[in-house]
Chains A and B, each alone.
Chain A
Amino acid sequence: QKEVEQDPGPLSVPEGAIVSLNCTYSNSAFQYFMWYRQYSRKGPELLMYTYSSGNKEDGRFTAQVDKSSKYISLFIRDSQPSDSATYLCAIYTGGFKTIFGAGTRLFVKA
């Protein structure tokens, strides 16, 4: 079993839709969870960072961690064409190491 699993998509939604992106992970000891956004032909950039369980909101983006289910989510409200990108979940595993999901490609149609 992979340490973190993420559906690669692609996911296509109309402009204004609410988008839900998800990952599952295997190790209940993980505490630090991140979402990165990667535009085509660019390196990933950090979007959101969450410690332990709960929600964190930043503008149209909400990151949610459910440690009981080992499930992490990113919600995008009022999605825009500029949100079209690949979204990668990531988990800091300790020892200077971060593991990444495979990434979900999102297309937001105008």
Chain B
Amino acid sequence: EAQVTQNPRYLITVTGKKLTVTCSQNMNHEYMSWYRQDPGLGLRQIYYSMNVEVTDKGDVPEGYKVSRKEKRNFPLILESPSPNQTSLYFCASSATGDEEETQYFGPGTRLLVL
């Protein structure tokens, strides 16, 4: 089954404790992206990757890091989480990332930073 998986689905942590949210896709897609979803603000892009070792900032990259060492995986790293990073996070992938490609979203990771 074609899918995007994220782990963990739910996470409670404390300010400053480094964490990683994993994302994996089994569709051999080149393009992957991370979004955060907040009430009233919709989905906002954090980082995206056009292929292995190629990443770029989205609209809200501050406080986040990403890496793309393998095509299927695109982890999101919060080196020193803060309460304003409490949010619902989605990973997405598409074949090429251009305008005609559907983005497939993972199930989401709900993060609470105390």
Contact = CB atoms under 8 A, between A and B. Distances in A.
A102 B39 CA distance: 7
B31 interface: yes
B31 to A, nearest CB: 7
A21 B61 CA distance: 30
Interface of B: 4, 31, 33, 35, 39-45, 48, 50, 56, 58-59, 90, 92, 97-100, 102-108
Interface in A21-62: 31-32, 41-46, 49
B37 to A, nearest CB: 8
Given A32-B99, A92-B99, A97-B48, 5 more contacts: A42-B107, A43-B108, A45-B104, A96-B48, A102-B41
Closest A-B pairs by Cβ, 3 of them: A43-B105, A100-B43, A102-B42
B45 A42 contact: no
> Which range contains the number of A residues in contact with the other chain?
20 to 34
Interface of A: 6, 8, 31-32, 41-46, 49, 88, 90, 92, 94, 96-103
Contact of A96 (B35, B43, B98): B98
A88 B42 contact: yes
Contacts of B43: 44, 88, 90, 100
A100 B50 CA distance: 19
Contact of B108 (A31, A32, A42, A46): A42
A25 B67 CA distance: 32
Contacts of A92: 98-99
Contact of B103 (A8, A42, A46, A103): A46
A41 B108 contact: yes
A79 B16 CA distance: 47
